[in-house]
Amino acid sequence: MTVTVHPFPVDDLPSWIDEHTRAYQAERQANGEAPEVAERRARDSAAENFPNGSPRESHRLVQVRADGVPVGTLWIGPLVDERPHEWWVWSIDIDEAHRGQGYGREAMALAEVIARENGATRIGLNVFGDNARAQNLYRSLEYRVTSLQMSKEL
């Protein structure tokens, strides 16, 4: 299996941004955020990170392929412009049909290569509390917890 990354198809950007924004909103809601807050935060994130319908100049949105077949997407870039050496995995999504085959692990290794090539000295990410599979993957890749938020319904 050879996993590679390729520029994301420009024609697919509008639908990907819409789909990603809806999924991000749903994840925020599933993890306890009020629907109107989740919607606003997802919409604001899309507007900030995809001005004019394209990724910010410093960000990389790529298609993940396994043996030439598209299996998912990876979006990385600096966390904030003021610290360009601190990169962030904004999103990694391996298509449902291709999960559990090592593509996510390989994509994360490629994310580190891309970040280093762009001057990064650190890479981080956020993982929602209900995503145990991703948490296990990141721990196995030597990511460590740097912050932990918890909540309780009253």
Domain that holds residue 80: 3-140
**23 belongs to a structural domain:** yes
What is the rounded CA–CA span in Å between residue 61 and residue 76?
7
**48 belongs to a structural domain:** yes
Note down pLDDT in tens along the chain; length 154 residues. Answer: 899 999 999 999 999 999 999 999 999 999 889 999 999 999 999 999 999 999 999 999 999 999 999 999 999 999 998 999 999 999 999 999 999 999 999 999 999 999 999 999 999 999 988 888 999 999 999 999 888 887 777 8
What is the rounded CA–CA span in Å between residue 131 and residue 20?
17
Domain count, the chain: 1
Tokens of 41: 């935060």
pLDDT at position 150, please?
A: 77
pLDDT at position 54, please?
A: 95
What is the rounded CA–CA span in Å between residue 58 and residue 87?
10
**107 belongs to a structural domain:** yes
Whether the Cβ atoms of residue 50 and residue 86 lie closer than 8 Å to each other: no
**75 belongs to a structural domain:** yes
**150 belongs to a structural domain:** no
Task: Find all residues with CB under 8 Å of 34, minimum gap 6, and list them.
Answer: none
**CATH number of the domain residue 59 falls in:** 3.40.630.30
What is the rounded CA–CA span in Å between residue 98 and residue 90?
20
pLDDT at position 153, please?
A: 74
pLDDT at position 129, please?
A: 83
**148 belongs to a structural domain:** no
**149 belongs to a structural domain:** no
CB atoms within 10 A of CB 27: 15
**27 belongs to a structural domain:** yes
